[in-house]
Structure 1
């Protein structure tokens, strides 16, 4: 039997109030959130434990919980998915409430200042830590990783058990023998400065120097500084750091660090190298943001009773649309052949993406392109055109349609905004009625002068002759 993954750390109750907003309150210049839904989820170490369990692992969460209404609510949500070994939290359960509309946070209210103070933790906690196959310490500055008995248990772990430490500027230095430290760039700067390091700058060079300093100062084998959309930089004692790049992802990044740490510790538990573990962590964090992040965890818990975010097949156009609408966002779509992608395409896609919260590209199938452009087209098959489009940071998803027009696809997609190029000005778009019938709008965007696939192909033929 495989030993469980143990997550040790501070748990918070995170609540999102999600709705739409189209007007201001009459008695104050603040938005009115309409059709608001409450979505609650465990935060901090609780979120990391849920994400690890959603990946199919046996997880034990070692934490401190208060016997109050938020604490009991947290325990009920957690115990459906992970084993909870908890000791007493002194004071109120920390709670963060975010009010969100259109994919953006409008306000956040923090309550509860509970702390984990030194005292007995009980045999259940001791058995959980001593029996761990791998450990993730998720420090949110509330005292669990600082607790004397908990630290003693962590210090007694054998070297074969990989420990990942996700630090907090108000938290505790890691115990000796930690395999991987996972601060974000701001945390790394603050932690290095608190340790007396005078490292200025904000580029990769400065990040690398801070990572190497923390590794030496704390005796950590590797330090992976997470860089948001740029990925993570691993400093492991070698002269040259390793950069694990992130896939393009837009959305609420709250909880992405927990997703990264959970992915990295899971990989180390399976015997991966530090570089492979960091790469897996970046992949998990990117998918987490693409899937709608922590807001989607709460929605999945409420609707389906599971924290799993991404289906096994991966996220497609319909997943993108669903999670965008769930967050109250605007769905933008456009369509075309996109044969031999050129600067005009890229310019229009960039403008289109700025009109909303996701961009879905409807791509003519190969047969559809032949009917429109002739037997010599397309130059690039549909699967390759989709792959190139989805590699663009402005494109959230692409879907192929077989019909002569995208109208049947748009009947299902129902975008809020349908975008075409200004070369369609003065013409009747056959799909416009479908878009407007479902409350959407059709918008024409300016084109870059002289850019077209037909012109590119004619130029190429002229050069060849």
Structure 2
């Protein structure tokens, strides 16, 4: 089921390929590693990856990109179906293919082939642009942004247009709502007077220079594990990432730009869009990055509003990428500083955090009549707004043991002053080699205390 404003992705599609194996010896005829157990992973690349990621997140997406009838073009179309509507531009020459060779997860060499470039714009492409409420331009320097530049420039003043520039591509059209270069790309586009170094001051001055140079409304420079810096020329805002990951970052910029474009199209403020984009890119890396991109049809049937399916998929992806799955549980009725501290600590010890949340009926059985104060949809929404929370899954029972048996986290976190042996989940976690741990909890903070204090305050005023 698609949600949110439809997104049009304009740019250059690529076919990305990873050859992945282990390297434990050198070849006898040359001092080069031998890749054993080699496997091939294919995925859409460039603008096609940005479109696929936006569609996979539940948005209706159309990709406007040069594609022909060569084998690589046909493969990209097949990888995108049925999630993305593809509208091809003419392609002169074979589509570009990029192959990474990875030994033990580390890139060894990249091989590029294909000379395809965009042909002339079509009337259908112009009509699509005229009707698009939100546009992402993913310019990979193969001509798509060039042949449609006049139409994009006319569109910019009244459309949520995000431009994701790349080193050999064009600068954004004037009036673009948001440009999203990496810091390395930003320095390449900026003038000679921009200071050296990676301090926040240097990044801020670079962003301000690009706002003026490009005549963009906003520029967000992505900083990898540090998050992103958003600038309108003055008063920059740093949007930090909730956690840092050492995984494969290939495609994280596409995830960032696609998320920001969709949120701007939904009416979010630039700061809100960048916050959402940082969170999405962080999750993307935590889940394995490009290696976790496995195109396929979405499951059919009624949407899962209780989050268990999302939690299961997330846990599976993180495990497959060799990461650590952390889970925490509770009612989280009135979210307070103690909750936030616990969840932030929990997220810091793993690669994803799944919150197991008591349903309304479960809370009533545990806390009594009148609870929960906040109904389940509100509690889910508040938790999902925290950058440290990657997924929320609901359970109806008194304990989350059935849900945990499906999620099978590596670590189960609780806050409090009792022994681990007292946790009913500890023995269950041990069944699959997991560990229950206690984290420090802020004294004097609880939903019950807050509710009691609020009730006394209201009573005193009457």
Q: 1:441 aligns with which of 411, 418, 434?
A: 434
Assess if the C-alpha contact under 8 Å between 1:78 and 1:84 holds in 2.
no
For residue 244 of structure 1, report the CA deviation from its aligned partner: 9.2
CA–CA distance in 2 between the matches of 1:394 and 1:280? Answer: 17
CA–CA distance in 2 between the matches of 1:92 and 1:257? Answer: 19
Taking a change above 3 Å as real, the CA distance of residues 6 and 448 of structure 1, as seen in their structure-2 partners, is: closer
For residue 82 of structure 1, report the CA deviation from its aligned partner: 0.9
Corresponding residue for residue 190 of structure 1:
188
Assess if the C-alpha contact under 8 Å between 1:14 and 1:95 holds in 2.
yes
Corresponding residue for residue 29 of structure 2:
none
1:358 aligns with 2:355: no
- Aligned pairs for 1:330-369 (under 5 A) are 330-337=324-331, 348-364=342-358
SS at match of 2:293: helix
1:223 aligns with 2:253: no
For residue 13 of structure 1, report the CA deviation from its aligned partner: 1.2
Corresponding residue for residue 257 of structure 1:
253
For residue 413 of structure 1, report the CA deviation from its aligned partner: 3.2
Q: Which moved more, 1:159-168 or 1:240-249?
A: 240-249
For residue 422 of structure 1, report the CA deviation from its aligned partner: 7.2
For residue 377 of structure 1, report the CA deviation from its aligned partner: 7.3
Between structure 1 and structure 2, the one with the greater Rg is: 1
SS at match of 2:151: coil
Corresponding residue for residue 73 of structure 1:
75
Assess if the C-alpha contact under 8 Å between 2:426 and 2:436 holds in 1.
no
Corresponding residue for residue 138 of structure 2:
138
Taking a change above 3 Å as real, the CA distance of residues 363 and 376 of structure 1, as seen in their structure-2 partners, is: same
Count of aligned pairs? 422
Corresponding residue for residue 11 of structure 1:
14
Taking a change above 3 Å as real, the CA distance of residues 127 and 70 of structure 1, as seen in their structure-2 partners, is: same
SS at match of 2:192: coil
Assess if the C-alpha contact under 8 Å between 1:362 and 1:400 holds in 2.
yes
- Aligned pairs for 1:76-115 (under 5 A) are 76-78=78-80, 81-89=85-93, 93-97=97-101, 105-107=105-107, 109-115=109-115
For residue 111 of structure 1, report the CA deviation from its aligned partner: 0.9
Q: Which moved more, 1:415-424 or 1:365-374?
A: 365-374
For residue 61 of structure 1, report the CA deviation from its aligned partner: 0.8
Assess if the C-alpha contact under 8 Å between 1:99 and 1:108 holds in 2.
yes
CA–CA distance in 2 between the matches of 1:420 and 1:379? Answer: 22
1:199 aligns with 2:195: yes
Corresponding residue for residue 47 of structure 1:
49
CA–CA distance in 2 between the matches of 1:447 and 1:317? Answer: 27
Assess if the C-alpha contact under 8 Å between 2:204 and 2:236 holds in 1.
no
Q: Which moved more, 1:164-173 or 1:312-321?
A: 312-321
CA–CA distance in 2 between the matches of 1:341 and 1:266? Answer: 28
CA–CA distance in 1 between the matches of 2:277 and 2:305? Answer: 12
Corresponding residue for residue 21 of structure 1:
none
C-alpha root-mean-square deviation of aligned residues, in Å? 5.1
Corresponding residue for residue 206 of structure 2:
210
Corresponding residue for residue 404 of structure 2:
410
CA–CA distance in 1 between the matches of 2:442 and 2:215? Answer: 58
SS at match of 2:327: strand
For residue 241 of structure 1, report the CA deviation from its aligned partner: 5.4
Query: TM-score, normalised to structure 2's length?
Result: 0.67
Assess if the C-alpha contact under 8 Å between 1:52 and 1:59 holds in 2.
no
- Aligned pairs for 1:417-456 (under 5 A) are 417-420=411-414, 423-425=417-419, 427=421, 429-437=423-431, 439-445=432-438, 447=440, 453=446
Q: 1:320 aligns with which of 308, 311, 331?
A: 311
Assess if the C-alpha contact under 8 Å between 1:331 and 1:357 holds in 2.
yes
Assess if the C-alpha contact under 8 Å between 1:197 and 1:213 holds in 2.
no
For residue 110 of structure 1, report the CA deviation from its aligned partner: 1.3
Taking a change above 3 Å as real, the CA distance of residues 285 and 129 of structure 1, as seen in their structure-2 partners, is: farther
Deviation per residue, 1:277-299 (Å, 9 max, x gap): 77546535644654648548732
**Where in structure 1 are there 5+ consecutive unaligned residues?**
19-23
For residue 382 of structure 1, report the CA deviation from its aligned partner: 6.3
Query: TM-score, normalised to structure 1's length?
Result: 0.67
Deviation per residue, 1:223-261 (Å, 9 max, x gap): 3434556455242xxx64575958958876543432444
Assess if the C-alpha contact under 8 Å between 1:253 and 1:289 holds in 2.
no
For residue 352 of structure 1, report the CA deviation from its aligned partner: 3.8
